[in-house]
Amino acid sequence: MTTLRYGYGTNGFANHRLHEAVGVIADLGYCGVALTLDHDHLDPFAPGLARRVATVADQLRDRHLGVVVETGARYLLDPWRKHAPTLLHDDRKLRLEFLRRAVAVAADLGAEAVSFWAGVRPDGVGERAAWDRLVDGCAEITELAEMVGVPVGFEPEPGMLVEDLAGWYRLRDALGAPAGFGLTLDIGHCRCLEPHPVPQCVAAAAPYLVNVQIDDMRRGVHEHLEFGAGEIDFPPVLRALIDGGYRGLVAVELPRHSHAAPSVARRSLAYLIEAEAEAEVRADREGHP
């Protein structure tokens, strides 16, 4: 039994049918699923969405799995442009519609959060225009999500208009600090960008967290690495989440490992359980409660 609730991202099961991915994740002992809406995994633009959402909701409930909805599909909206259009583009209407549908899907699934990010500022779009578009889009989606009772988890992402915690705080302030505007934190991004050690980054973010993605990473390298392949010392990171009172999903995000998804997912959960146990040992050794 662990204190934290571990999940696994379906973007790491890209070669599986969604119901099979959910089954494997549940059978391995995970507590939840980070569901990336994509072509083969609950496409929000394909026919029969309500029926398909109901089927997934039944499976999640039957397997006692929590869920967060992720919106980072690479080519769902445009087969030529990765992640485009974003909230920053001139032609951002499709992104807004996607996020509206993601909120509706999250509500119907009983999701713990719906997560999205800013995007990279497009060529020809000034910083002020990009920022205004982002604030406007976030305000609309946050208001919609609040109406249906789904927390928003906005994710700072390296290289994007909002790429770190400082940028998230600035955006939250620009929105008027709405209660429904929370934080999605990728632990690896703390290692990549933040000036403080990762556990300090996590502790600072803890009051605002609604969604956590976890993977290994090296400083300055935006690459999702399997646990133990990077530089992060995970026991104090997990301890920071526990001490911060976080009770949402901590979902493994390894989108480049679909070729070996079941074995990677198995190893990942074993690693995290062992790291959490080590965190408890270190806390006892140091005399922490």
Interval 65-116: pLDDT, tens: 999 999 999 999 999 999 999 999 999 999 999 999 999 999 999 999 999 9
Predicted local distance difference test score (pLDDT) of residue 217: 84
Query: Percentage helix, strand, coil, to 5, in the chain?
Result: 45, 15, 40
What the block records as the tokens of 278 is: 């080590």
104-117 confidence digits (pLDDT tens): 999 999 999 999 99
Helix (H) or strand (E) holding 264: helix 261-286
- Domains of the chain (ranges; CATH) run 5-286 (3.20.20.150)
Residues in Cβ contact with 90 at an 8 Å cutoff, skipping those fewer than 6 apart: 122, 125
What band does 289 get if pLDDT is binned at 50, 70 and 90?
Answer: low
Beta-strand ranges (E) seen in 169-232 are 181-186, 209-214
With a cut of 90, say whether residue 195 has pLDDT above it: no
Separation of alpha carbons 154 and 175, rounded Å:
12
What's residue 288's pLDDT? 58
Give the count of beta carbons closer than 10 Å to the beta carbon of residue 274: 13
Q: Using an 8 Å Cβ cutoff, are 240 and 203 in contact? A: yes
CB contact burial 16-42 (16+ within 10 A = b; e otherwise): bebeebbebbbeeebbbbbbbbbeebb
**Model pTM score:** 0.96
Tokens describing residue 210: 């609604």
Q: How confident is the model at residue 189 (pLDDT cuts 50, 70, 90)?
A: confident
Per-residue pLDDT at 134 exceeds 70: yes
Percent of the chain clearing pLDDT 90 (strictly above): 86
State how far the Cα of 47 lies from the Cα of 126, in Å rounded to an integer.
37
